[in-house]
């Protein structure tokens, strides 16, 4: 039996279709002050310096996922990678258009 959900035939199209979902998620995190507004206005996503609700803290402590290497990389290393410009993640992966990005000097 074929597994159609395992095959990603057009990854660029998937990234394009996910953009509105990601934008909505970021807007919700901004509205709840989980993302630092000043950093966001400078083109960066940084967690705001607030205490997370107990439900989230407990969920993180009780979940084995946080011990997985890929999860630690996603949480600790991924945010340090530049996203825009010729050397950014968009350009290096080829998944998104980067030619019109404004690069901060």
**What does the pLDDT look like over 48-90, one tens digit per residue?**
999 988 998 899 889 998 889 998 888 888 777 777 777 777 8
**71 and 102 share a domain?**
yes
pTM beyond 0.85: the answer is: no
Structural domain contains residue 97 = yes
Enclosing domain of residue 94 = 51-105
Structure tokens at 90: 């968009």
pLDDT, position 6: 66
Sole residue written with tokens 């660029």: 12
Same domain, 57 and 88: yes
39 and 55 part of one domain:
no
Q: Is residue 104 part of a domain?
A: yes
Residues 92 and 55 in one domain: yes
Our count of domains for the chain comes to 2
């Amino acid at each position: 039996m074929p597994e159609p959900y395992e095959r990603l035939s057009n990854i660029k199209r998937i990234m394009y279709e996910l953009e509105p979902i990601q934008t909505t998620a970021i807007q919700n995190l901004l509205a709840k002050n989980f993302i630092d507004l000043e950093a966001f206005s400078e083109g960066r996503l940084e967690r705001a310096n607030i205490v997370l609700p107990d439900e989230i803290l407990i969920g993180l402590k009780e979940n084995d996922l946080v011990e997985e290497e890929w999860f630690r990389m996603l949480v600790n290393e991924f945010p340090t990678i530049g996203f825009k410009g010729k050397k950014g993640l968009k350009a290096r992966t080829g998944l998104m258009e980067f030619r019109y990005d404004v690069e901060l000097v």
